[in-house]
Structure 1
Amino acid sequence: MNNKFLKKKYFFTLLFTVLLLLVLAACGNDDNDSNNDTSNNASEGNNENTEVTVDSEMGQVTLPANPERVLAPFHEDTLLALGITPVAKWAIGESVQNYLEKDLQDLERIEWTMPLEQVLSHEPDLIILENSLDSYEGSYEEYSAIAPTYVMTEEVTKDWKKQLQVFGEILGKETEAEKALADYETKVKEANGELTEILGDETVAFMWVTGGKYFLFEENRHSANMIYSELGVNVPILVEELGEAGTAWDPISLEKLSELDADHVIILGNQKDEGIETLKNSNVWKNTAAVQNDQVYYIEDESNWTNSGLNASEQTIDELLETLK
């Protein structure tokens, strides 16, 4: 066998060996990469947040992330705005927040005092309470023994926009909260333009009639705050004179209503209420500008008007526009 043939055979054998080693090395790298990816994914899965730590009225608290059974009595409006249905709805006896019933009608009621046995029966993953705990039957420690409990600060309790942001944070719904607020601002802007065309400089007053008594909304009382400050509706002089809304809502006398100089008056309450019957038969009331000009309107359900929240505000805007058009 000549040397030339041996050299050629040796060359091809060496080349094959080198190629084989390269292939094996590549396969090994692929396996390592695959193993690394699996390890990384497992690590990421292990690091997935199962808890969230937030500030509350009780200091920093650690809560479960993305709870499935949430109980937030009287603040179901905010939960619904985030696409969450609570495990029970706030009630005083048979009375509920009527404006939310289209979404909550099938839920069991929970008494506003939050009896511990009722709370326990709903098996919540998370309990959300207002900053003042005095109205609840149980203590913070007792509710916390049932489920992780978040107590809102006074600001979060009173400001539904801030509440929506905070609920979004603790419930893993930040994106939904941002979108809901952005959509609301668009709605307010559009409504502001429509009301300017409808009313011009005319004023509007809002009054709830119940149990034969008259409750005139101050500028910052419930939905009036949104209507006057955000929608830009002009305030009647008598309403300005009432000053800031206090904790208690005192009724106004029929005689005092004779001073109501509003161009338009929206009256909330059951048409069969004795107070409305008295108004319709009162010469004092009949001599007011709104009655004289046939600019008095009646709305049966006051629930969204006397509450605050995204749903309450949007329903009120829709009803206000529909009433005044």
Structure 2
Amino acid sequence: MSISTSGPRLRRTGAAAAAVLALAGLAACSTDSTTPAASATTSATDDAPAAFPTTIDHAFGATTIEAQPTRVAAISWANQDSAIALGVVPVAMPFASYGGDENGYLPWTLAGLEALGEERPELFSDTDGIPFEDVAGLTPEVILGTYSGITQEEYDQLTKIAPTVAYPEDAWGADWKDQLTYTGQALGKTAEAETLRADIEQQLADVVAGAPEIQGKTFAYLSFSSADPSSVFYYTVEDSRVEFVESLGLESSPKIVELSEGNEEFFGTLSAEVVDEIDADIVFAYVDSAEHLEAVKADPLLGSIPAIKNDAVVMLDDPTFILSTSAPSPLSIPWAIDQYVPLIQDAAANIK
């Protein structure tokens, strides 16, 4: 797989946006956090069939699912995680070419599958776009694309295969709660989805309560390119990775809030000459490596960002960990939070 060094990290367009990070191949992070799927039911509830037919509104209209599906296909990042967390093993899901292991699984997804037994999905490559024929060949009864950037044309093609659930409003705009809600409705597992959401929210609340020193601190999510040091990318307040940090008690910096107004994309570009206007206590920094971060700090312009100057930085250079926090899902959040919060605490200790 070719990794580009240009553009914002995790550019979420086209084929699940698999290739946009220029990152060192560091070992995947590990954690003892229990995945929600370990306690999720593996069969439909007794009253689940009564939930059908069900109609789900989304960006491309409405999708009606006539009966409880047993064959579920997931496209793009994260969609499989909600199904697995609710006890359903998809018949098809993307090969995780970014951040995954040699078999194409992300660690939290694999843990969720292992908790459900021996069954495994068919993995397909979406590097060059959705493989419609491959998906169709697995005869799914519903296709999950709540967290995706599919176009109207792609949606129309998918609906010829099976009822397809797209994102609520904006491409790549569904947070983990939306993903869980839509998937729960599509699978006839609304009650389980609500219970799981409450469990994850409690986990987040417990983490927040244990880290009072980061509460109310302002932050900016930035991406630095070694190929083009003159440009810096920021992520808007509508982006899922930003919303995840806010769920930990931090607040987007006023400058990021200002820049986000009227920006319909999930990211924007800053010239290096104005980066010192990023008035954040902490910077979350996508970089290629620790050496790249040192080069950013030494740069006369980039190093003038107050949080960079103070070394109040959460360095993000590991593909697996990046994906767990950039595309947060009901499985990746419990996997990530015990690692994420200490990194934020370390950065907060350097605020001046």
TM-score when normalising by structure 2: 0.63
Unaligned runs of 5+ in 1: 1-46
Q: Which amino acid aligns with 2:224?
A: V
Q: Displacement, 1:161? A: 1.7
- Check 1:257–1:100 CA distance in 2 against 1; reply closer, same or farther (3 A cut): farther
- Of the two structures, which has the highest relative contact order with CA contacts closer than 8 Å and spacing of 6 or more? 2
Percent identical pairs in the alignment equals 20
Asked if 1:238 is matched to 2:241, the reply is: no
Asked if 1:70 is matched to 2:73, the reply is: yes
Q: Displacement, 1:320? A: 2.9
Asked if 1:291 is matched to 2:303, the reply is: no
User: In the alignment, which residue of structure 1 is the partner of 2:199?
Assistant: 183
- Check 1:312–1:217 CA distance in 2 against 1; reply closer, same or farther (3 A cut): farther
User: In the alignment, which residue of structure 2 is the partner of 1:10?
Assistant: none
Asked if 1:149 is matched to 2:163, the reply is: yes
Q: Which amino acid aligns with 1:283?
A: P
The 5-angstrom pairing of residues 19-58 of structure 1 reads 49=49, 52-57=52-57, 58=61
Asked if 1:281 is matched to 2:298, the reply is: yes
Q: Displacement, 1:154? A: 2.5
Residue 154 of structure 1 aligns to a residue whose secondary structure is coil
Q: Displacement, 1:60? A: 5.7
Unaligned runs of 5+ in 2: 1-46, 111-119, 346-352
Count of equivalent residues: 272
Q: Distance in 1 between matches of 2:291 and 2:134?
A: 34
Which one of 211, 214, 237 corresponds to residue 199 of structure 1? 214
Q: Displacement, 1:48? A: 9.2
Asked if 1:173 is matched to 2:189, the reply is: yes
The 5-angstrom pairing of residues 117-132 of structure 1 reads 117-129=133-145
Residue 258 of structure 1 aligns to a residue whose secondary structure is helix
- Check 1:289–1:100 CA distance in 2 against 1; reply closer, same or farther (3 A cut): farther
Q: Displacement, 1:282? A: 0.5
Residue 279 of structure 2 aligns to a residue whose secondary structure is coil
Q: Which has the higher helix share?
A: 1
Q: After superposition, give the CA deviation of every residue in 1:255-310 in whole Å (9 maximum; x if it has no partner).
A: 22222232222212321796x46413302233433234332231223223332432
> Does structure 1 retain, via aligned residues, the 8 Å contact 2:232–2:272?
yes
Residue 106 of structure 2 aligns to a residue whose secondary structure is helix
Q: Distance in 1 between matches of 2:234 and 2:323?
A: 15
Q: Displacement, 1:322? A: 1.9
Q: Which amino acid aligns with 2:94?
A: W
- Check 1:292–1:194 CA distance in 2 against 1; reply closer, same or farther (3 A cut): same
Larger radius of gyration: 1
Q: Distance in 2 between matches of 1:144 and 1:248?
A: 26
TM-score when normalising by structure 1: 0.68
> Does structure 2 retain, via aligned residues, the 8 Å contact 1:56–1:153?
no
Residue 297 of structure 1 aligns to a residue whose secondary structure is strand
Q: After superposition, give the CA deviation of every residue in 1:49-100 in whole Å (9 maximum; x if it has no partner).
A: 49921113554623341414433443223223223332333369x4477896
User: In the alignment, which residue of structure 2 is the partner of 1:14?
Assistant: none
